[in-house]
Structure 1
């Protein structure tokens, strides 16, 4: 493929769009929330402990209820997840992540529609999926009312 002036213009516009996204309010909020969570050493230790428990949980899941630690691990992982979910900083981080993902979904849909209305754009938010996208690829052959 040869580099033409059209491709150079497109690449410049892509760089500009990327810079706009990275300088958006959503990106700033996400960076701020991420820093707030991982700057707190106590919270970072809790998250690391949860990750270790999650790894152990995945090992237990291979054997299901027949694993000797099944009930203990299931209870501990739920308690740790609940504690993290109730933390204000973690909740703010999740909200910031969702807002940023919504921004990316909107941009993706705009780009997809600028090509063709028939372009299927995978999105994480069902609000955007109902407006002409097929979500994450339902695979039902149109059973979800998409036009696949």
Structure 2
């Protein structure tokens, strides 16, 4: 590809935008919350326990309510998730992550709409979901592909 001045200008501006995002208060809050979460042994233990139960939950989901441990695993996964979500470091991280995602979504929308109002932009951290799950498999996963 031949680099044009326009192409170089777009790259420069995108790098500048990236630096602005990394220098933003929203990103700083996210990075601090992530650092606090990673360095909190209690939160890490809760995440580890939830992940272990989640693996069991995925096995149970293959058979549904016919699995012998269905009720027990379903209760356990909800209990572990609640314990994890109630941890102050986990909760602060989720809030900071949501705020950062909102900033990225807003930037994406601004860029897309500056080109055309018809461009579909993810919102609330979700993939493009107008035609089902947005997986692109053509409905192979069971989503509603149009």
Contact 1:26–1:96 (Cα < 8 Å) also in 2: yes
Matches within 5 A, 1:114-133: 114-124=114-124
| TM-score of the pair, normalised by structure 1 | 0.83
Higher relative contact order at CA 8 Å, sep ≥6: structure 1 or structure 2? 2
- 1:99-135, Cα deviation, whole Å (9 max, x unpaired): 0010001000100011011111121279xxxxxxxx8
Q: How does 1:72-87 map to 2 (within 5 A)?
A: 72-87=72-87
State the TM-score, normalized to the length of structure 2.
Answer: 0.84
Residue 55 and residue 125 in structure 1: after superposition, are their counterparts in 2 closer, same or farther (change >3 A)? closer
What is the deviation of 1:2? 1.1
- Which position in structure 1 is the counterpart of 2:34? 34
Structure 2: runs of 5 or more not aligned: 133-146
Measure, in 2, the Cα distance between the counterparts of 1:27 and 1:55: 31
In the TM superposition, what whole-angstrom CA distance separates every residue of 1:24-68 from its partner, at most 9, and x where no partner exists? 111111111111111011221210111111111011101011111
Contact preservation (8 Å) 2:37, 2:90: yes
Q: CA RMSD in A?
A: 1.7
Match in the other structure for 2:128: 136
Partners of 1:120 and 1:43 in 2: how far apart?
Answer: 37
